Amino acid sequence: RFPFAERPPLGTALTLSTADRFTVRSAIAPLLGEARISAPLTSQLLAGEVLQLVDGRGDWLQVRGADDYEGWTHVGYLMPFMGTEATWPISLGCVTRAADGQRRALPLGARVAPELEPIEGAAIDPAARAAQFPRDRDAIVRSALSLFTGASYQWGGVTPWGVDCSGFVQRIFALHGVPLRRDAWQQAEDTTLVTDDVTAAHAPGDLLFFSDRDDRHITHVGIATGDGRMIHSALARGGIHVEAELPARLKEQLIGVRRVL
């Protein structure tokens, strides 16, 4: 197994097993397209997330998350798998304090390790998540409208500190116990088509999918609020934005409205 205390220099071959699992120790760890820090960001991993090892190159590990999304991250962001991560409190956006007094901010969705004490904001016991965040359309919309308010757009981002369209959708639904895959086109595959009529009334929690490509490959997703509006994270809006009415450009790009629940 990988010796975290005495990591070999970059480029040294590691003795790794695909049975190995690791846990994210940083508040946020980048998931990259290649084994280098300057590689494009594809997604983010949050504190307490458990990762399955796929491959390794020196200090770089190719990992797979619970949503089966794969990418590369540096071993410095990780710690050995503990086995108790599922019981750790879920951050709703909190600041923690370690035994040595060090303070640390954790974003929405991160897990709070046992040695950390939440001192600002909120964190909930996993056993209480279903009651506070039920698998209910209206509850999902309320979370979407409140928990990412003011978040900037960030390609690959999954938190209120910066989020892209599919990261926003995935994290909101996950909080309510509804797993979705990471990318917008994958989320479309995991849902049921309701209509491709842009003028149709959409139920709260329906997902609207769009494409700005000639081949109509899905490139964008938003959440219907049920009252004719849509909330999404869009680069053109700078981040999270509620559309009172779909702009003409988005109406032209609509691929379909799909239902999760």
CATH number for the domain spanning 159: value is 3.90.1720.10
> Do 108 and 225 fall into the same domain?
no
Provide the b/e sequence for 103-135 (b: ≥16 CB within 10 Å): ebebbbbbbbbeebebeeeebbeeeeeeeebee
Max distance between CA atoms of the chain, in angstroms, equals: 60
Please, are residues 208 and 202 in contact by the beta-carbon 8 Å criterion? yes
> Distance (Å, rounded) from C-alpha 57 to C-alpha 14?
7
Q: Is the pLDDT of residue 105 over 60?
A: yes
> Do 151 and 250 fall into the same domain?
yes
> Do 149 and 33 fall into the same domain?
no
Reported confidence tier of residue 151, pLDDT bands at 50, 70, 90: very high
> Do 35 and 93 fall into the same domain?
no
Q: Is the pLDDT of residue 2 over 50?
A: no
> Do 155 and 112 fall into the same domain?
no
> Distance (Å, rounded) from C-alpha 244 to C-alpha 86?
38
* Packing angle of the helix pair 137-146, 165-175 (nearest 10 deg): 130
- Domain count along the chain: 3
> Do 144 and 208 fall into the same domain?
yes
Compute CA 117 distance to the chain's CA centroid, rounded to the nearest angstrom.
24
> Do 141 and 213 fall into the same domain?
yes
Neighbours of 38 (CB within 10 A): 6
> Do 155 and 93 fall into the same domain?
no
* Beta-ladder partners of 120: 95
Q: What is the pLDDT of residue 48?
A: 98
For 20, the 3-state DSSP assignment is coil
Where in the sequence is the domain holding 120, given as residue range(s)?
87-125
Write out the two tokens for 103: 């303070």
**pTM to 2 decimal places:** 0.92
**Of 80, 113, 143, which marks where a domain is finished?**
80
**Of 19, 52, 80, which marks where a domain is finished?**
80
- pLDDT tens per residue, range 24-70: 999 999 999 999 999 999 999 999 999 999 999 999 999 999 999 99
